[in-house]
Structure 1
Amino acid sequence: MEINGVEIEDTFAEAFDIKVSRVLVTAATKKLAKIAATEATGYGTSVIGCSAEAGIDSYIPPGESPDGRPGYTIMICNPTKKGLDHELLERIGMGILTAPTTAVFDALEDPDEKLNVGFKLKFFGDGYEKDLEIAGRKIHSIPIMSGDFLIESDLGIKDGVAGGNFFILGDSQGSALLAAQAAVDAISAVEGVITPFPGGVVASGSKVGSNKYKFLDASTNEKMCVTLKDEVEGSQIPADVNGVYEIVIDGVDEEAVKEATRAGIEAACKVPGVKKISAGNYGGKLGAYQIKLHELF
């Protein structure tokens, strides 16, 4: 199978279950909302080493937000309900409550349940907090130096999908990188997904465990390293490929991840120099979801 002359390997991306929350961060200006959203989703690339996988989902214009201000939806993901509750408290409390003019609203459709994150954060008000209602939502108003910080009392969580992925193989590092950036731009238009790695692009694809160091949970994927293609037995790098990047996608459900994968691959295949699209899996041993590339088109 080919798209614009680019080979799409007959393989699948192996994804796994994760707990997901999606919240809306609003502020007086788009810039201030973006700053707060960025702070709250920092250090959130992979649960291999980070306490959560997190990222910015989409921009919400003033006319579509509960308080009539610009904002960004963000997603925060953790393997457990307890872990996600902790991450929401810390990331909102330290990354958003501390930012100028911000407010936080639940933005998850059809949640499995809700966590009383806003209720817990209201105690920062030290007894001066108040309850109010905005657009039918129960809101806690917490007095801070610059005014009041507003947060919805309960934030929804649900079982989402993490680890959707695909590899972009290019004839050079430059072509592969341009294609990866084009893929991330296309994916950003899909609601309900994030690409949690820096700029949405994974430079250091990994495998589970290690061939040599038993204390490692993950190590470099040597079969996909371009500088090792002539050294490693079973290298998956063709002779004409000199650059590889991976896109990792987390979503509120499997369909959102599939839609994002399709959009990203289509965009990547429009970039000159891209030779092949593949995906990472562990033979079905890692996760319950198999996103088969050929079935996306």
Structure 2
Amino acid sequence: MIMNSPIIEDTYAEAFSTKAAYLLITAATKKLALIAATEATGFATSFIGCPAEAGINSYVPPEKTPDGRPGYSIIICQNKTEKVKQQLLERIGQCVLTAATTSVFNLLPDSEVQDNLGFKLAFFADGYQEKMELYDRDMYKIPVMSGDFLIEENFGIVDAVAGGNLFIMAKTQASALIAAEAAVNAIREVEGVIMPFPGGIVASGSKVGSKKYKFMHATTNEEYCPTLKDVVDSKLPEDAEGVYEIVFDGLTESAVKKATQEAIKAIKTIPGVIRISAGNYGGNLGKYKINLVE
């Protein structure tokens, strides 16, 4: 493998604490499972303007699922346990219960904090629900038009880490995009990590607050906008014309660190990348420092 030699800034991504649930959605086909997982993790790119940060972690083949059907694991994050519970109820109730042939399983059985999501959703059955032991788990069977919707009774909620990030600066927008896609593909191989933004790539990286508008919680990060290099005190290399950010959340700090290093390795294989950096706020945002240089 040919490695490029971009400058890797000796800096860190400033990550912060969050709460997370880790679920498995299965269905009769891989396509149906992906549809349900995609719907359940929609409108969840950033805490700045969304009710959660969520994403698909990985495809899980039939031989590794409780019911022997294809599935996708997802992670849903919020900053408080009660908010995670609310997001579980709304997202699974509206986006997975309504999806064809789906079942839902808990991937955090040993978590100290549990939410009885299955019990709550079972009331949709209007008294026809049935609690049973199935697949060595406590499950609820909810009769629906298409047959039965199956969901585990309890779902774990754990402390997690949000805000891992990388800035990719390249000679062209095309090379920056190719590098970003390479980073996304690498991170997808790391268990327990999600990238909540569209396709895993952030086109509109932001800064906290605004220099001009008091009502804005976040605005464009002008120091990294290629078209503003001649207007602001830019942090971009002179020949950088393409910039993308990758943001990722993980169930553990070690998972976020691994995702960072795997992404950097992948980015370094792409010609045209000039510099790799990350966003931090001097420790004002979160307690985790995810170093780019180990």
Q: Which amino acid aligns with 1:75?
A: I
- 1:6 and 1:44 map into 2 onto residues whose CA distance is 32
- 2:13 and 2:173 map into 1 onto residues whose CA distance is 22
Other-structure match for 1:81: 81
- 2:291 and 2:110 map into 1 onto residues whose CA distance is 26
Gap runs ≥5 in structure 1: none
Q: Which amino acid aligns with 2:252?
A: D
**What displacement does 1:47 show?**
0.7
Q: Which amino acid aligns with 1:286?
A: L
Q: Does the C-alpha gap of structure 1 residues 109 and 191 become closer, same or farther in structure 2, counting only changes over 3 Å?
A: farther
Other-structure match for 1:97: 97
Partner secondary structure for residue 17 of structure 2: strand
Gap runs ≥5 in structure 2: none
| TM-score of the superposed pair, with normalisation by structure 1 | 0.97
Other-structure match for 2:205: 205
Contact persistence 1:167–1:280 (CA under 8 A): yes
Other-structure match for 1:15: 15
Other-structure match for 1:280: 279
Number of residue equivalences: 292
Partner secondary structure for residue 69 of structure 1: coil
Provide, for residues 95-141 of structure 1, a one-character-per-residue CA deviation record: whole Å limited to 9, x for no partner.
10000000000012642311111110000000000011222210000
Other-structure match for 1:5: 5
Partner secondary structure for residue 166 of structure 2: strand
Partner secondary structure for residue 33 of structure 1: helix
Query: Are 1:150 and 2:150 counterparts?
Result: yes
Aligned-pair identity (%): 61
Q: Which amino acid aligns with 1:192?
A: G
Contact persistence 1:112–1:159 (CA under 8 A): no
Partner secondary structure for residue 294 of structure 1: coil
Other-structure match for 2:215: 215
Other-structure match for 2:130: 130
Contact persistence 1:7–1:275 (CA under 8 A): yes
Provide, for residues 1-29 of structure 1, a one-character-per-residue CA deviation record: whole Å limited to 9, x for no partner.
xx631110010000001110010000011
Query: Are 1:230 and 2:230 counterparts?
Result: yes
Provide, for residues 42-93 of structure 1, a one-character-per-residue CA deviation record: whole Å limited to 9, x for no partner.
0110010000000000111111111111100000001111111110000000
Provide, for residues 141-170 of structure 1, a one-character-per-residue CA deviation record: whole Å limited to 9, x for no partner.
000000000000000010100000010001
- 1:292 and 1:186 map into 2 onto residues whose CA distance is 18
**What displacement does 1:224 show?**
0.8
Partner secondary structure for residue 92 of structure 1: helix
Other-structure match for 1:47: 47
1:30-45 equivalences in 2 (<5 Å):
30-45=30-45
Query: Are 1:26 and 2:26 counterparts?
Result: yes
Other-structure match for 2:265: 266
**More off after superposition, 83-92 vs 130-139:** 130-139
Contact persistence 1:67–1:134 (CA under 8 A): no
Partner secondary structure for residue 259 of structure 1: helix
